[in-house]
Structure 1
């Protein structure tokens, strides 16, 4: 007998005898909707997407989490330039300190004479009402110039600047009175000055009302060779005691001294008249 004929089963133009990797997937799709080929393709894409997503989250995740570690390791060499900059800055600072030390050694701090010290202290007090002498200052010794001067006391021009400051403070304040608010002899000295109608007006400090009085009083006594307030300065020079002020005023010499210092006797009245014109 001749061998039986070979039978072939076709499905959608494909030989069913040939193995296909998606045959089981097609079979599953056929069970759901065997007559809808578009739906089969959609489901095939969906299953493929699910498989890729599963691979990413379950298989590829360890390699992704390891990435930051490698990045941190590669960032380590960046510290080397930063260390170099810090080293350069440290060397520059050391060099600058050496230069500054050399400048200080070549230009020591200016030393004030008693007359310059009196002018510097007065200028410091006149500049702002808030300027006070620190209570840590020893009034029996020369004051630190840096406390009362507003410029570099170690510069090559420090001496010249001190001279200019002293000349300026007495030009702007030819008559200065260091007084006590409730002292009878201080009131007498202020009355004598008031009668002269000075222009510019006398610069008056009520020393006992200042927070630095305990330092300022002995400091003024040392610089003016007086032992009691009030202290009257005309052109930066102390007139003396209240007895000396009375005597000069009685002889008319006080007015002469005030005029020589740059103040105008009766100038306050003239100024008022000019204002009314």
Structure 2
């Protein structure tokens, strides 16, 4: 655990991955696309990688140390890439509703997944947080890429950057 803490403290963004993990690759790509330069530690290439993985299990109370081993992570990624604009929500969330209305006002018919009806709801929320959502819901994806939650979407909208991003998905007839 000491080695994990030491490595994690060396940089603002640190990612523990496995080189064969497709979700790990996606997360690294996301960080690079956002202009970050994280420290990346490939557990399968480190002589102490197995011990570090066990320490990560314990530290985060998880059944996995890296994302790609999760069927739920795959489920989230599948849901997020179904259509142009996808919003993962909960039916009782007023911010989720507000984000849906924003997209409809911008002439976009998003695909909406209400996860509170899914038996894996809690785990899906954890997976959304793991891939970078500031809050689990709403989670907005455009073109299969995570845009973020309410704050990120509203910031993009207020800066004038949201409409160009969603232009390919706007309907003239909507």
TM range (shorter): 0.5 to 0.7
User: In the alignment, what sits opposite 2:84?
Assistant: 174
TM-score by length of 1: 0.36
Q: Is the 8 A contact 2:67 2:73 kept in 1?
A: no
Q: Secondary structure at the match of 1:238?
A: strand
* Alpha-carbon distance between aligned partners in 1 of 2:153 and 2:69, rounded to the nearest angstrom: 32
Q: Give the alignment's Cα RMSD to 1 decimal.
A: 3.3
Match of 1:31 in 2: none
Is 1:231 aligned with 2:139? yes
Given the alignment of the two structures, is residue 144 of structure 1 paired with residue 69 of structure 2, yes or no? yes
Rounded Cα–Cα distance in structure 2 between residues aligned with 1:185 and 1:177: 11
TM-aligned CA distance change 1:112 to 1:186, over 3 Å: same
Give the conservation status (yes or no) of the 8 Å contact 2:73–2:124: no
- The answer to whether the aligner puts 1:113 opposite 2:18 as a matched pair is no
Structure 2: how far apart are the matches of 1:239 and 1:196? Answer: 16
Q: Label 1:203 to 1:114 Cα distance change in 2 as closer, same or farther (>3 A).
A: farther
* Between structures 1 and 2, the one with greater strand share: 2
With over 3 angstroms needed to count, the CA separation of the structure-2 counterparts of 1:138 and 1:202, relative to structure 1, is farther
Distance (whole Å) between structure 2 residues aligned to residue 233 and residue 203 of structure 1:
10
Superposition TM-score, scaled by structure 2 size:
0.55
Check the 8 A contact 1:176/1:233 in 2, yes or no. Answer: yes
- Give the structure 2 partner of residue 206 of structure 1: 114
More helix by share: 1
Structure number, greater radius of gyration: 1
**Cα gap change, 1:146 to 1:232, in 2 (>3 Å):** closer
Q: Which runs of 5+ in 2 are unaligned?
A: 1-19, 28-61
Partner of 2:97: 187
Task: List gaps (5 residues or longer) in structure 1.
Answer: 1-109, 118-136, 150-164, 270-277
Deviations 1:83-124 (A, max 9, x none): xxxxxxxxxxxxxxxxxxxxxxxxxxx52134648xxxxxxx
Residue 54 of structure 2 corresponds to none
1:111, 1:145 within 8 Å by CA — same for their partners in 2? no
The runs of 4+ residues in structure 1 deviating greater than 6 Å are 145-149
Render the CA deviation track for 1:54-110: whole Å, top value 9, x for unaligned.
xxxxxxxxxxxxxxxxxxxxxxxxxxxxxxxxxxxxxxxxxxxxxxxxxxxxxxxx5
Give the deviation of 1:228 after TM superposition: 3.4
SS of the residue corresponding to residue 181 of structure 1 reads coil
For CA contacts below 8 A with separation 6 or more, give which structure has more relative contact order.
2
